Structure 1
């Protein structure tokens, strides 16, 4: 994980309005949300894993599943999920197991971040600041 300090930290928005601004620009609400926190994810690449810019948010007025919830943004960070290479040794067994468990466990949920992704992430955060602070 690599944090990128930003002017959006601590800013508050209606979650619905954030979604309307961010989704057309490549962001999605990440799968790691629950009722007291969530993330907007921007998939930067999938080089030997998946590289994301992740923008955390927490509800401050309402719950995340309520229509008019207001959220507060946290510090954006880069995340590198490195997944295990698939082996074909036991293809028949793997096919059966896949019907029960579709997702491979990450080899490293927080792999090293390459410099090129740090630069790209800083550019994305700058764009995000322009998008959100102009509104």
Structure 2
């Protein structure tokens, strides 16, 4: 994990408005959210595992599954997940079985982040700052 300091840290937004701004850019609300915190994920690459820019947020008013929720942005970071070799081959067996296999544990959830994508992550954070501030 590589943290990227940002001017967005601590900024407050309507979750609905934030999601409306970020989804068209390729961001999605990542897994692992709960009623108080979550992440916007941007997949940078998926050639060897998955490399993401992850933008954390916490509810500042309301729960994440309710209307009119406000969130505060946390410090963005780069994250690399390397999934277990061979599981994807078996996940295509059928829709029912694949729905369970997609949640397999990563081989290395804190895999080293490829050097060539660090600048990409920094540029993505700068783009977010220009869009949201």
TM-score past 0.5 threshold: yes
Counterpart in the other structure of 2:9? 9
1-structure distance, mates of 2:127, 2:84: 32
Counterpart in the other structure of 1:116? 116
Counterpart in the other structure of 1:102? 101
For 1:63-112, what per-residue CA distance to the aligned partner results, in whole angstroms no more than 9, with x for missing partners?
Answer: 1011100000000000000011107xxx7xx959x828322321001110
Runs of 4+ in 1 over 3 A off after TM superposition: none
Runs of 5+ consecutive residues of structure 2 not aligned to the other structure: none
Larger Rg: 1
What is the RMSD computed on CA atoms of the aligned residues? 1.8
For 1:97-129, what per-residue CA distance to the aligned partner results, in whole angstroms no more than 9, with x for missing partners?
Answer: x82832232100111011111110000000010
Runs of 5+ consecutive residues of structure 1 not aligned to the other structure: none
Counterpart in the other structure of 2:46? 46
For 1:10-59, what per-residue CA distance to the aligned partner results, in whole angstroms no more than 9, with x for missing partners?
Answer: 00000000011000011000011011110000000002100000000000
